[in-house]
Structure 1
Amino acid sequence: MHSDDGFFGENIAAGYDESSADMFAPDVVGPAVDLLAELAADGPALEFGVGTGRIALPLARRGVPVHGIDLSRAMVARLRAKPGGDTVGVTIGDFATTRVPGTFAVSYLVFNTINNLTTQDAQVDCFRNASAHLRPGGCFVVEVGVPELRLLPPGQTAVPFHIGPAQWAFDIYDTASQAMSSNYVTIVDGRAEHRSIPFRYVWPAELDLMARLAGLRLRDRWEGWTRTPFTGESRRHVSVWEKPGD
């Protein structure tokens, strides 16, 4: 793994699209692109954590100019190799602090990527960075899961989310610090391989405070991209914060 790529180096990038195949399904990508294209209208979009272009490429095909920021050169190389990969501008860097020229109609973070920032300070910086890139009236969109602490009985710290014949996956939570990690045990040629990726889980109300610190205000919150109402039973949310106009 290239050290500058963080936890998404060549060994992860090589199989990322295949391992996340369900997230590339048209019924998953389509509603996200529809909403983002609507929010962008006639303006450009900025994706934090653009990765292999799961959302950026179809959004660009809709006529929305898209620029991405990502720390992983290996992931971006996969984006570049895809049809239309040269239409998405990419800046290599930490999306919590990296600035790019211009202002945008919409900036967005999808698929729990806000949790890749493993401190509250970094997540606050991310909101400030998003706000600094937005034109007045622009929106910052985040898709992220609701922390599943209700699944933890007293004394338990792990929640399994995949059990298969050759792979087991589980999240480990530290409720005192909001640190968590996703852990994968995979059987390869009869031997077990372990991979762990650190995250920081964050609550919807906490995100709203981060937005306020960045001069943004909550406009909408739904359970998903199809705008199903968000409730106490929702396991994820798509939230839209707006930068006040002039």
Structure 2
Amino acid sequence: MLQEEMWDDEVAEGYDTPGTGVFAPEVLGPTVDRLVELADGGRALEFAIGTGRVAVPLAERGVPVSGIELSRPMLDQLRTKADEAAVPVVVGDMATARVPGEFQLVYLVYNTISNLLTQAEQVVCFRNAARHLAPGGRFVVELWVPELRKLPPGQRAMVWESATGYIGLDTYDVLHQQVVSHHFRFDAGAGREARLLRSPHRYIWPSELDLMAELAGMTLESRHADWTGKEFTAESRSHVSVYRTAGPR
């Protein structure tokens, strides 16, 4: 399934969960705070801006934000919150689409770079970020760490989250560095029906990201386990990596 087909009207309409999940204040607040700091008074560009979960509150904090988005249904949801004048968006692939102007910050949140399913596409995405950045500008990537150590020998599937009304399960193809996330959502009552969303990804190791950045003319400035600045360790399940182009600081 193509990415633009996966993020259809049904998914877009159910994506926003105000006050909970990735929209919870304790999740979204530190994200926006850190991005305000990294923008350093300049313009910001979000690759795969989606429904504006991050971009809208970032713009409300006074950071001029533009975006790139492949899915028109997701963009339609964004437009219920902010018009084109407030958050301009170019419809297209984040790896190749060009937004007018120069930016101090380009960012990719919530594992979105893994939606590009080949290493070549991911490298092109880094180069597209560098192409948009002013000298000394930053590219920020939020990404999960592949949990292959938890995968039982000889098995391809692993449950990574189980909560009321939700089960998250990943199936791995370790030969090709591919993973499909299966999101099962169901009512807490006695009903037997469940809704399933599958999303394909290419997982990336942190060191591999660093090499992609080097190929695009950027270097690693910092890496933390989350947006609050928690130390990144061998046990961290995710990371926020900040890359910088050469030039004024």
TM-score range with shorter-chain normalisation?
over 0.9
Aligned mates of 1:186, 1:19 — CA distance in 2: 17
Q: Is the 8 A contact 2:182 2:196 kept in 1?
A: yes
Offset at 1:11?
Answer: 1.1
Partner of 1:72: 71
**1:206 pairs with 202, 205, 208, which one?**
208
Aligned mates of 1:23, 1:164 — CA distance in 2: 15
Partner of 2:13: 14
Partner of 1:152: 151
1:195 is matched by which residue type in structure 2? L
For structure 1, the residue ranges without an aligned partner over 5 or more in a row are none
User: Does 2:114 match 1:98?
Assistant: no
Aligned mates of 2:217, 2:236 — CA distance in 1: 27
2:211 is matched by which residue type in structure 1? L
Aligned mates of 2:238, 2:244 — CA distance in 1: 20
Distance 1:223 1:36, change over 3 A: same
Partner of 1:44: 43
| Counterparts of residues 159-178 of structure 1 (less than 5 Å) | 159-164=158-163, 166-178=165-177
Partner of 2:226: 224
Residue 195 of structure 1 aligns to a residue whose secondary structure is strand
Q: Is the 8 A contact 1:57 1:84 kept in 2?
A: no
Aligned mates of 1:24, 1:191 — CA distance in 2: 26
Aligned mates of 1:78, 1:193 — CA distance in 2: 21
Normalized against structure 1, the TM-score is what? 0.93
Partner of 2:109: 110
1:237 is matched by which residue type in structure 2? H
Write the deviation string for residues 160-202 of structure 1: whole angstroms up to 9, x where unpaired: 1233565433011111111110113445764444432111100
Partner of 2:121: 122
Q: Which sits farther off after the overlay, 19-28 or 200-209? A: 19-28
Partner of 2:23: 24
Residue 88 of structure 1 aligns to a residue whose secondary structure is coil
Aligned mates of 1:4, 1:173 — CA distance in 2: 19
Aligned mates of 2:23, 2:196 — CA distance in 1: 25
Q: Which sits farther off after the overlay, 209-218 or 36-45? A: 36-45
Distance 1:196 1:124, change over 3 A: same
Partner of 1:243: 245
Distance 1:203 1:101, change over 3 A: same
Paired-residue identity, %: 51
RMSD: 2.1
Distance 1:34 1:230, change over 3 A: same
Q: Which sits farther off after the overlay, 26-35 or 122-131? A: 26-35
Distance 1:195 1:42, change over 3 A: closer
Aligned mates of 2:247, 2:112 — CA distance in 1: 27
Q: Is the 8 A contact 2:226 2:238 kept in 1?
A: yes
1:235 is matched by which residue type in structure 2? R
Normalized against structure 2, the TM-score is what? 0.92
Question: What number of residue pairs does the alignment pair up?
Answer: 245
Which runs of structure 1 show a deviation greater than 6 angstroms over 4 or more consecutive aligned residues?
A: none
Residue 16 of structure 2 aligns to a residue whose secondary structure is helix
Aligned mates of 2:120, 2:234 — CA distance in 1: 27
Offset at 1:21?
Answer: 3.1
